[in-house]
């Protein structure tokens, strides 16, 4: 007899009970198949299905609760069923093993998690697109090396994130496609001597195909690794976005303001409004990466087919899905309520002299060689810095002391709006391109 401590150690019901619905649906399809193939009688199949429906209903309504002394959800369901309908309950496990059963449940559970995560992602993309639309004319400094580089619109910047999130949606769809193959009927590892119909079950349970090799069917967890990979990339995107939000909402940048409902105050520093949500999303990214590493490591030394090590797949997968869903939900609210400060962004863009090249080009267009124009522009920038001015606020008389070529129209040429609007290449930051991107993003949803 197994020692109590060994039983506790071995048992997984405390975390796999959340797959009760998938487990029961799978068993119903299995019972129907056994009946249809004449492996059990039609009456027996009907009794099993009816009994399973009752277990499901009672679990959902809360009149039945999990018995934590059962080893796992599969044993629990079968035990309750047999208690309720008698010996016929013991026929359910014909031509099946917990090895193919658990592989089936996990695939079905994760499949519906992917659908939920995808719906949340679409919501977030929609909110990001709406913000991008709202601020498509707000000009900010675009950065490389976190140094002010070229003026861009805030809408353009936000749409970069929309593109990343669209790729995440696509990656999840791709992962779902390979996940959606049914392992049920692979049995313990070698298949079965009964004349079963695996495709009958697969079809009932919404699978597109069946696993073609019974050993692979019970030992494959690639779909979990792929999902964790896709979720890790998604979290990396949210984390980068979070990092920018933390920076932008700091007093040093003041580009955006997060709503009170998505920030926290400090108990002793009344001026503080902390971007905790963004920081936590950034922080939780580590958990999801950890879940990916844990599963890869669990699998790497396993001989075929099933090994108990594989029971360790679930907690990480569930944790990653829960974490991602929470992060996405919070993100939707945080972005929807975030406001930008276009005046501050614009000032930062001007203070970066990111239009100095355009000033030099102005002189070139008036006939000066580029090298000379570049030198003059450099001297003007230096004077601006000395006098705490920007190119746009330096008076024309001063410009004229550097070159008689300067005229009133120079201000039009170095205007940041002009600089942005000149970036007309496809995918660039001009308004027409931002509009085209918006249209593309929305069409994807």
279-308 mask for ligand ARG (x: CB under 6 A)? ---------------------------x-x
Is 266 known to be catalytic? yes
Residue/partner pairs of 36-42 with CB below 8 Å, 24 or more apart:
36/197, 36/200, 37/194, 37/195, 37/196, 37/197, 37/200, 39/94, 39/95, 39/194, 39/195, 39/196, 40/91, 40/94
96: contact with ligand ARG by CB under 6 A: no
Residues 324-383 contacting ligand ARG, CB under 6 A: none
Q: What is the dihedral of CA 235, 240, 246, 247, to 10 degrees?
A: 180
- Whether residue 311 contacts residue 12, with contact meaning beta carbons closer than 8 Å, is answered with yes
Applying CB under 6 A, the site for ligand ARG has a residue count of 10
Nearest Cα to Cα of residue 315 among 288, 284, 347: 288
Nearest Cα to Cα of residue 278 among 327, 319, 322, 233: 327
C-beta closer to ligand ARG: residue 99 or 437: 99
Rounded to a whole number of angstroms, the minimum distance from the CB of residue 331 to ligand ARG is: 32
In 255-334 the beta strands, taken as DSSP E runs, fall at 256-257
15-54 mask for ligand ARG (x: CB under 6 A)? -x--------------------------------------
In the set 41, 69, 112, 266, the catalytic residue is: 266
C-beta closer to ligand ARG: residue 99 or 196: 99
- The stretch among 56-64, 97-105, 222-230, 365-373 that binds ligand ARG (CB under 6 A) is 97-105
Rounded to a whole number of angstroms, the minimum distance from the CB of residue 120 to ligand ARG is: 27
C-beta closer to ligand ARG: residue 308 or 386: 308
Residues 210-249 contacting ligand ARG, CB under 6 A: none
Rounded-to-integer distance, Cα 244 and Cα 108, Å: 36
Helices (H) and strands (E) in the chain, counts: 19, 6
- The stretch among 31-39, 94-102, 402-410, 437-445 that binds ligand ARG (CB under 6 A) is 94-102
Among residues 311, 357, 403, 444, the one that binds ligand ARG under rule CB under 6 A = 311
Rounded to a whole number of angstroms, the minimum distance from the CB of residue 314 to ligand ARG is: 6
12: contact with ligand ARG by CB under 6 A: yes
Among residues 17, 27, 99, 298, the one that binds ligand ARG under rule CB under 6 A = 99
Rounded-to-integer distance, Cα 241 and Cα 6, Å: 45
In the set 145, 261, 267, 425, the catalytic residue is: 145
- Whether residue 291 contacts residue 306, with contact meaning beta carbons closer than 8 Å, is answered with no
Rounded to a whole number of angstroms, the minimum distance from the CB of residue 216 to ligand ARG is: 16
Is 182 known to be catalytic? no
Beta-carbon contacts of 41 under 8 Å, excluding residues fewer than 6 positions away, are 35
Angle, vertex CA 237, rays to CA 234 and CA 242, nearest 5: 125
Nearest Cα to Cα of residue 160 among 244, 286, 263: 244
Token readout for 291 is: 């879940």
- The stretch among 53-61, 95-103, 219-227, 297-305 that binds ligand ARG (CB under 6 A) is 95-103
Rounded to a whole number of angstroms, the minimum distance from the CB of residue 256 to ligand ARG is: 45
Nearest Cα to Cα of residue 73 among 50, 38, 106: 106
Rounded to a whole number of angstroms, the minimum distance from the CB of residue 249 to ligand ARG is: 43
Angstrom CA distances, 342 to 142, 158, 290, 369, stand at: 14, 14, 38, 36
- Whether residue 182 contacts residue 202, with contact meaning beta carbons closer than 8 Å, is answered with yes
310: contact with ligand ARG by CB under 6 A: yes
Among residues 34, 81, 92, 102, the one that binds ligand ARG under rule CB under 6 A = 102
- The stretch among 96-104, 209-217, 378-386, 410-418 that binds ligand ARG (CB under 6 A) is 96-104
Residues at the interface with ligand ARG (CB under 6 A): 12, 16, 72, 98-99, 102, 306, 308, 310-311
What are the catalytic residues?
A: 145, 266
């Amino acid at each position: 007899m197994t020692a109590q401590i060994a039983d506790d150690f071995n048992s997984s019901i405390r975390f796999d009970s959340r797959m009760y619905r998938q487990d029961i649906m799978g068993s119903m399809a299995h019972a129907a198949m056994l009946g249809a193939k004449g492996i059990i009688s039609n009456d027996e199949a009907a009794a099993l299905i009816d009994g399973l429906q009752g277990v499901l209903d009672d679990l959902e309504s809360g009149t039945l609760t999990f018995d934590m002394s059962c080893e796992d959800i599969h044993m629990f369901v079968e035990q309750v069923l047999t208690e309720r309908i008698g010996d016929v309950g013991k026929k359910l496990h014909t031509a099946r093993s917990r090895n193919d059963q658990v592989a089936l449940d996990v695939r079905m559970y994760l499949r519906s998690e992917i659908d939920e995560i995808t719906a949340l992602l679409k919501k977030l993309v929609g909110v990001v697109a709406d913000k991008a639309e709202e601020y498509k004319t707000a000009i900010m400094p675009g950065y490389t090396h976190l140094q002010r580089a070229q003026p861009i619109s805030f809408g353009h910047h936000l749409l970069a994130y929309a593109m990343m999130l669209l790729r995440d949606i696509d990656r999840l769809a791709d992962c779902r496609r390979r996940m959606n193959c049914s392992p049920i009927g692979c049995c313990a590892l070698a298949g079965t001597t009964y004349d079963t119909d695996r495709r009958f079950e697969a079809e009932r349970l919404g699978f597109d195909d069946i696993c073609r090799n019974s050993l692979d069917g019970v030992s494959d967890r690639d779909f979990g690794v792929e999902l964790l990979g896709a979720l890790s990339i998604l979290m990396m995107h949210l984390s980068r976005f979070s990092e920018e939000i933390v920076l932008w909402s700091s007093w040093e940048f003041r580009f955006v303001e997060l709503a009170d409902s998505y920030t926290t105050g400090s108990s002793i520093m009344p001026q503080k409004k902390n971007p905790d949500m963004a920081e936590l999303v950034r922080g939780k990214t580590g958990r999801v990466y950890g879940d990916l590493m844990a599963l890869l490591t669990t699998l790497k030394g396993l001989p075929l087919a099933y090994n108990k090590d594989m029971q360790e797949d679930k907690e990480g997968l569930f944790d990653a899905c829960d974490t991602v869903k929470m992060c996405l939900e919070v993100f939707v609210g945080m972005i929807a309520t975030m406001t930008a400060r276009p005046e501050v962004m614009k000032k930062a863009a001007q203070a970066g002299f990111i239009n100095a090249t355009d000033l030099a080009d102005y002189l070139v267009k008036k006939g000066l060689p580029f090298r000379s124009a570049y030198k003059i522009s450099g001297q003007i920038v230096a004077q601006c810095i000395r006098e705490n001015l920007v190119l746009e606020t330096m008076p024309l008389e001063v410009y004229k002391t550097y070159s008689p070529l300067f005229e009133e129209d120079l201000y039009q040429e170095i205007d940041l709006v002009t600089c942005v609007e000149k970036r007309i290449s496809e995918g660039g930051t001009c308004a027409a391109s931002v509009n085209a991107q918006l249209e593309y993003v929305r069409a994807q949803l």
